[in-house]
Amino acid sequence: MMTTDMINWPEEKVQKLMGHYREILSLLGEDPEREGLLKTPERVAKAMLTLTRGYEMDPKAVLNAAKFQEEYSQMVIVKDIDFFSLCEHHMLPFYGKAHVAYIPNGYITGLSKIARVVDIFSHRLQVQERMTLQIKECIQETLNPLGVMVVVEAKHMCMQMRGVEKQNSITTTSDFTGAFNQAKTREEFMNLIRNNH
């Protein structure tokens, strides 16, 4: 299996980022030539490219690559999708779980593709609210289902490490379309994702 450490990032991009991170280390009062920091600019450059790799990927293409005609028209749920993202305000991590449901309208997609869509949008500089909306819109526009609902639960390091320093707070966001406008359908989804939680 290929790890993100093995990805061949464009050398020019890596070199430019390394230069900026060397400068940042100096501005923070560190010595970038110190033994322990010699490889840090390169490591951070590659880490940031990995954490923002979603910009290089097309989530709609991922769904379309495994789009199948199927007459199934009950709720399809992929829950507990782990994700890690970077808050665009402080570039600190936020992480948690996404739960996605859709009601097919003639087409389904591979279940792993729903998780890939979450992965792509989370690997960009984000705010949780927008990420929730983007996942919902991508599935709605690509599969044209009878409805989509997305719930995202996350912990934000910008709240835990700085500012209010609240360690146990969880932020929940949700968005929905179509059939999920009915409270009964939303309630069914929420009950199903809460089971075994």
Positions annotated as catalytic residues are: 87-90, 128, 156, 158
The tokens describing 16, both together, are 């430019």
Tell me whether residue 79 is exposed, middle or buried, using C-beta atoms within 10 angstroms of its C-beta: 0 to 12, 13 to 18, 19 or more: middle
Beta bridge partners of 156: 94
The tokens describing 17, both together, are 């980022």
C-alpha neighbours within 13 Å on the C-beta side of residue 112: 2
Element housing 178 (H / E): none
> What is the C-alpha to C-alpha distance for residues 140 and 174, in angstroms, rounded to an integer?
15
C-alpha neighbours within 13 Å on the C-beta side of residue 167: 0
Q: C-alpha dihedral over 171, 177, 178, 184, to 10 degrees?
A: 10
C-alpha neighbours within 13 Å on the C-beta side of residue 114: 25
